Amino acid sequence: MQPSSVAAASAQDSENTRFILLISLVATIGGFLFGFDSGVINGTVDGLQRAFDSDSVGTGFNVASMLLGCAFGAFFAGRLADLYGRRTLLIVAAVFFIVSAWGSGVAGSSAEFIFYRILGGLAVGAASVMSPAYISEVSAAHYRGRLATVQQIAIICGLFAAFISNYLLAKFAGTSTEPLWGGHEAWRWMFWMEIAPAALFLVLLLFIPESPRFLVVKARKPQALAVLTRLYGSVAGAAKFDEIEASLARDHHRPRFSDLIAKATGRVRPIVWVGIGLATFQQLVGINVVFYYGAVLWQAVGFSESDALLINVLSGGLSIGACLLTVVLIDRIGRKPLLWIGSLGMAVSLGLVTVAFATGSLDSEGKLALSDNMGLLALVAANVYVIFFNLSWGPVMWVMLGEMFPNQIRGSGLAVAGLFQWGSNFAITMTFPVMLAGIGLAATYGFYTIAAAVSIFFVIRFVHETRGRELEQMEG
């Protein structure tokens, strides 16, 4: 090959890579909205209690109601994406994000609020499985993990943006329950802040292509070849088309939900159980208690509302830093080592949080009072826990769910895993206020500690490495 030809080929490769990066970044805005929608509730709990006069159970359901929508959104998005496409489902999710953000802020009753939060949950659930799936299906194996990890960075950036927005809005108003612009309380504006990024997501989705693997499944060869050529070049694109077709032809061309059952044994495929385990353990370690109830948690141990919201900002910043480190490591040392290291770190740090909370006593207002040393230990250990989670289970679980299933069952496998992920999320979130009131913070965090310890053995025994493997090589 002549030097000029080598230079031209190199320039074309660079252009293809830039294109993949750009469309992947568009898909990750779904992750940003996932994070923002999940984190915004953190600063609105006091406002919801006052506006709707709800008790601990009612507050728990107001907070957790979105997660019901997330479970159904993740489950049906996986199946609907096999019928209508990954990009199409992301467009629908963007519309739902906009409507939910507006409606949650204008809600005048718990029922109305829950309706709009469930609608937002459908969007979050769909984005949570479709964004990493889309990124995995347009990326090459040698940097797929890094690009898919950007999805988790986007989630954390969304959480971080929500925490900063909540903190500033509450600070400007005085508290989250005081009126701000237009006579509306600050907590309502916290929801309305999401409308702008959701609208941007909707517009940008109109300019990205459909997943080439979906186009192959639908026998739309010209469109599939055009997208694959744009992603990898004409020669590599044609070879990848043949590879995808061959992987589908080993079974049957059209994916079906029944493909989750192995023909040889008549039982659910082992890879599906691994996906369910990954999705469930990610929630059983209690991370979303920090995300959804962080302000409540830190106020419960003596911090003011302003300080509690500021601690959330600190946690968000640490989370972004941890995810950036994962981007560097995930395609170098692999997914499995990051998972078990993260499990070990979370088990130890959660154990320290539990010890700190166990030393506390209730003050005259019924709040848990800690000594200065134990308060510092709880704060430091909780943030170390957040770092370990976002170094490992936070991004790696989503990376693995997006890539670990064979082409034939990717949509269906994501649907089931997503259902369990968000179902577990709902259970943990709904039960936290009840557990806080019933058994206290120490026992509650003791449960999360046990779950983190058990996850170490789950990873070592059942999880298989996917680093460097093409999607067409995945087995289950």
**pLDDT tens sequence for the chain (476 residues):** 555 555 555 566 677 778 888 888 888 888 888 788 777 776 666 666 666 665 555 556 666 677 778 888 888 887 788 788 888 888 999 999 899 888 887 777 777 778 888 888 888 888 877 887 788 777 776 666 677 677 777 887 887 788 788 778 877 766 666 667 766 677 778 888 888 899 999 999 998 888 888 788 777 888 888 888 887 777 777 887 877 777 666 654 555 666 677 777 777 788 889 889 998 998 888 877 665 555 555 665 566 666 666 776 777 777 778 888 887 888 788 888 999 999 999 999 989 988 887 876 655 555 566 676 777 787 788 888 888 998 888 888 878 887 788 767 777 787 788 888 878 877 877 777 677 767 777 788 888 899 999 999 999 988 888 776 766 555 65
pTM for the full predicted model: 0.70
The pLDDT value recorded for residue 343 is: 93
**Gyration radius from the chain CA atoms:** 23
- The SS3 of residue 217 is helix
Other beta carbons less than 10 A from residue 371's beta carbon: 12
Nearest to 25 by CA among 147, 107, 144, 181: 147
Give every CB contact of residue 187 below 8 A, 6+ residues apart in sequence.
Answer: 43, 44, 46, 47, 48, 51, 176, 177
The pLDDT value recorded for residue 7 is: 54
The pLDDT value recorded for residue 79 is: 74
Q: What are phi and psi of 362, to 5 degrees?
A: -80, 135
Give every CB contact of residue 3 below 8 A, 6+ residues apart in sequence.
Answer: none
CB contact at 8 A, 95 and 86: no
Other beta carbons less than 10 A from residue 108's beta carbon: 9
The pLDDT value recorded for residue 204 is: 93
Q: Provide, for the chain, the percentages of residues in helix, strand and coil under a 3-state DSSP scheme, each rounded to the nearest 5.
A: 80, 0, 15
The pLDDT value recorded for residue 178 is: 64
Give every CB contact of residue 25 below 8 A, 6+ residues apart in sequence.
Answer: 150
- Return the amino acid letter for 463: V
Give every CB contact of residue 346 below 8 A, 6+ residues apart in sequence.
Answer: 285, 385, 388, 389, 392, 393, 452, 455
What DSSP designation does 261 have? B
The pLDDT value recorded for residue 2 is: 53
422 HSE (CA, 13 A, CB side)? 31
Write the CA distances from 259 to 230, 252, 292, 379, integer angstroms.
31, 10, 36, 46
β-partners of residue 368 are 362
